[in-house]
Amino acid sequence: QSALTQPASVSGSPGQSITISCTGSTSDIGYWNYVSWYQQHPGKAPKLIIYDVSRRPSGVSNRFSGSKSGNTASLTISGLQAEDEADYYCSSSTGSSSLVFGSGTKVTVL
């Protein structure tokens, strides 16, 4: 199973909105509504911020939102803040009860 495709980097100014795409196939994102997103600050463990395409765990800011269309999932960060600067990874279930991660996107707050 190949990694899901994400842009290497996305940047935005404070207060702006940015969107990170995550492209898979009909075997993963296109078939299953089990897309999740993780935020990872340097030297830290990843943190779950979106699951089941668009659901937020308790305690995660509502500035983070997720969606899916066809084989592509998206994470939108609205009202960008300095603390949002981090790496972001998408993940999807696959048809074989496995997980596959995206290649990762570095978000820079200008």
Binding site for another protein (CB under 8 A): 1, 3, 32, 34, 36, 38, 45-48, 51-52, 57, 89, 91, 93, 96-104
Supply the minimum distance, in Å, between the C-beta of residue 86 and another protein.
13
Q: Is 5 helix (H, G, I), strand (E, B) or coil?
A: strand
Rounded distance, CA 17 to CA 19, Å? 7
- If the CB atoms of residues 38 and 64 are measured against another protein, the closer one turns out to be 38
Contact status, residue 37 vs residue 47, Cβ threshold 8 Å: no
Supply the minimum distance, in Å, between the C-beta of residue 16 and another protein.
25
- If the CB atoms of residues 16 and 48 are measured against another protein, the closer one turns out to be 48
Phi-psi region of 53 (alpha: psi -120 to 50; beta: other; left: phi over 0): left
Supply the minimum distance, in Å, between the C-beta of residue 24 and another protein.
14
Rg (CA), the chain: 13
- If the CB atoms of residues 43 and 62 are measured against another protein, the closer one turns out to be 43
